[in-house]
């Protein structure tokens, strides 16, 4: 059996070994971010609801039933996660937004799929906070005068 030359394991050079020791912290493995299973499921719910909502036009009864069934199956009884996404969309969106109809439809689909109605208002507050945070300008360390020039 012939092995490709790149498939053969080679020993790291002295420089590679030193670089690895200097820059690799043994604790890096312990500090790795572990995905939150609920967050992953909410992301899947968000994607599914967004895909079915399309541009925000009203859905036919058949399309709506398909969307609700898919969300219900995906959530697997987790009405709290459906409420989380519905509330965040409702709180983040304002009536003047271009995609307000679409966000409203997404929230309605989540509610029809079994969102826990008692939790939605809590997540609406979170959505509003996120909107406010997104609207603030990050501090860049540079101040600008009224003409937009750096000082």
Q: How far apart are CA 72 and CA 82, in angstroms?
A: 9
8 A C-beta contact, residue 88 and residue 127: yes
Between 1 and 122, the higher pLDDT residue = 122
What does each C-alpha distance from 67 to 12, 61, 80, 108 come to in angstroms? 53, 10, 18, 11
Output the pLDDT for position 53: 95
6 φ, ψ (degrees, to nearest 5): -75, -20
Q: How far apart are CA 129 and CA 59, in angstroms?
A: 30
In the chain, the percentage of residues whose pLDDT exceeds 70 is: 71
Question: Cβ of 10: how many Cβ atoms within 10 Å?
Answer: 7
For 17-61, the pLDDT digits (tens) are: 666 666 665 555 555 566 788 999 999 999 999 999 998 899 999
- Mean pLDDT, the chain, whole residue set: 84
For 53-109, the pLDDT digits (tens) are: 998 899 999 999 999 999 999 999 999 999 999 999 999 999 899 999 999 999 999
pTM of the model: 0.70
């Amino acid at each position: 059996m012939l092995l490709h030359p790149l498939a053969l394991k080679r020993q790291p050079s002295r420089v590679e070994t030193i670089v690895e020791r200097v820059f690799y912290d043994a604790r890096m493995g312990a500090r790795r971010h572990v995905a939150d299973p609920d967050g992953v499921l909410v992301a899947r719910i968000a994607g599914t609801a967004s895909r079915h909502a399309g541009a925000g036009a009203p859905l036919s009864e058949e399309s709506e039933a398909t969307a609700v069934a898919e969300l219900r199956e995906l959530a697997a009884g987790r009405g709290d996660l459906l409420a989380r996404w519905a509330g965040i969309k409702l709180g983040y969106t304002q009536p003047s937004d271009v995609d307000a109809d679409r966000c409203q439809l997404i929230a309605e689909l989540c509610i029809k799929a079994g969102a826990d109605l008692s939790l939605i208002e809590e997540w609406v507050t979170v959505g509003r906070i996120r909107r406010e945070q997104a609207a603030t300008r990050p501090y860049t360390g540079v101040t600008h005068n009224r003409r937009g020039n750096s000082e």
